[in-house]
Structure 1
């Protein structure tokens, strides 16, 4: 059995050496690109337009919430100042009213954040879909074999983010 194991090991070593010698030739024909998705989402005109659209869409609600928050804070400070001179029943009633108002305010804030997050994700998805179409067009036009969007390290010569930004910004 030892002879057959040695024979197998030699055969494996020969095949591995052949594969290693053939790899550099194949690697020269293999074209890799990299796209910095964060940069695309930060710099693309489409992404900037989506951000502006979201700000416009939610600015009034945000301002209303800030106003309500300020009113709630002022009412709380007023109660603190007046509490020592108020009859106990009136003080307790105002405290309950403030607690109810605060609970309602917290609920509205959560709903606002959920709505913003949902819309932001919808807009982000649209930008990413268009960016992926442009990436595919660049890859096909320039004969890339592989395009990466996340990497620990990438040599700048493989970065095609500027081409993708250019394609996105010129697309209608």
Structure 2
């Protein structure tokens, strides 16, 4: 069965995986980038996640609420408890970002969740109507996105130096 699943996976899915691995491995190294580039991966992951929620479970209140609540909770936790990974660069409008495994791990977790949910729904289409399954998958997508958004908020706050998260990150 696993062989059939892999054979019937569209080629573009493997291309997406390759891009995510490439982008995630790039995040392992310290790098200098424009501040606006901090928003790219969270925005793409946000769009992909919401698109997947709507495509798999519709735009009903329950799937979107599960996603939103989980995203908000995860964003708040990451923003409050995490450490900033950025520092201002010598050039205005640019930032130095410390390398981290977190982006690669998060992108792989999102990809695997999307892939597993897609395979399960292809094999068991009636699972789409299962409220518990829908809530769990949507909440998981929300947690992943919340982590990206919380880290982005923490990094931006740290660059501005005016928030609790920014001061905590600078103190450590």
TM-score norm. by structure 2 comes to 0.29
Structure of higher CA gyration radius: 1
Which structure shows the higher helix fraction?
1
Structure number with the bigger relative contact order (C-alpha 8 A, sep ≥ 6) is: 1
TM-score norm. by structure 1 comes to 0.29
